[in-house]
Amino acid sequence: MRATVGIIGAGPAGLLLARLLHNAGIDSVVLESRDRAYVERRQRAGILEQGTADVLRAAGAGARMDREGLRHDGIELRFDRRRHRVDFPALTGGRSVTVYAQTEVCKDLIALQLQDGGPLLFEAEALAVEDAGTGAPRVRFRHEGREDVLECAYVVGCDGFWGVARKAIPAELVQVFERTYPFGWLGILADVPPSHDELVYARHDRGFALLSMRSPSVSRLYLQVPDGTDAGEWSDEEIWDELERRFETADDWRLERGPITQKSVTPMRSYVHEPMRHGRLFLAGDAAHIVPPTGAKGLNLAVGDVVTFARALTHQQETGSPDLLDAYSETCLRRIWQAERFSYDMTTLLHRAPGATGFEDRLQLARLERIATSRAAETDLAEGYTGLPFGG
């Protein structure tokens, strides 16, 4: 099997890349180790930056997002029983975000790929990327019980942190930067309309809480919990009671309760792998970087990576110049480190570290007060949240 671009992984990054390449007249093959049903129900991110939503529309994958997604023009910060709304359009020249689950993005892109794109092989397990440093890389994979080889001009690893793509880069060329946080998120899905029409980020002495949503009838909420917590240790009533405590305000706002349909614990870490390119192998998304979910950057960073690659390869095809491909890692990493900075700032602003002192508590409140009273500080948050431009 041959293709100009071999794409490992059919998450939103791999699927969007296949669509961008198809629209540019460049052929690709997508290999996905899981079956289609798994990919279409895998719960992950749900906040799309302005740039991500615009790219999906330009790629022809935005129609259902525009019908069913929820445009949000701000977030609410809660601290010291106070409420402060950050108005994104007023601070960023009209930018916003869209609540639209990763599962729905994948469904839309899969339908387009199967309708008129190149091959998309489910249950095709990539075993190794070979000859990455040459002009003819290969992906060895297993599909329908037998091994096969995909010969490519380029390979893009969109196969996540545990995938095979990153392992093909020689260890002596690699630098890894990471931080593990001593807490995680206990997340729930609940069949109850959201108690607020925008996301609520709450800083409390008992820990962070987040009110989010998946639709007008389904709420998504999170609690900061100690690292290693088992979601089964928490009863539904204990979760709702703790959420009420952390979202408490001085006015008459109330948290609506409903049946919890799913609960899980997400660990928190920051991770960056440099470089993101070796020869004809390019890394994208979680294969190269991870951010704590506080800033809603993960999916959006992956989109930025594949947009950068698609533009660079199209430029090379049209002009013969490899300059943009050669700069891929450097270009992506500039944006990634800004997102890492933003996610770290949001995480340390809102989460209470184990053993935090009164001094550290007062610093958090002072930082939140600064955002609430300074347009410059508030603008920095709004710009980071709605997303920096792709490709620079």
As annotated, the active-site residues are: 72, 201, 293, 297, 385
- In contact, 29 and 6? CB cutoff 8 Å: yes
Per the listing, tokens 């700032």 go with 345
> In terms of Cα–Cα distance, which of 160, 168, 162, 164 is closest to 10?
160
Question: What CA–CA distance (Å, rounded) separates 336 from 373?
Answer: 28
Which residues fall within 8 angstroms of residue 152, CB to CB, at 6 or more apart? 2, 3, 4, 5, 6, 29, 136, 137, 138, 139, 280
Phi/psi region, residue 79 (left: phi>0; alpha: psi -120 to 50; beta: rest), is beta
Locate all alpha helices (DSSP H) within the chain, ordered by sequence: 12-23, 36-41, 50-58, 63-68, 88-92, 102-116, 236-247, 298-319, 323-326, 328-350, 358-373, 375-386
Per the listing, tokens 């041959």 go with 2
- In contact, 103 and 140? CB cutoff 8 Å: no
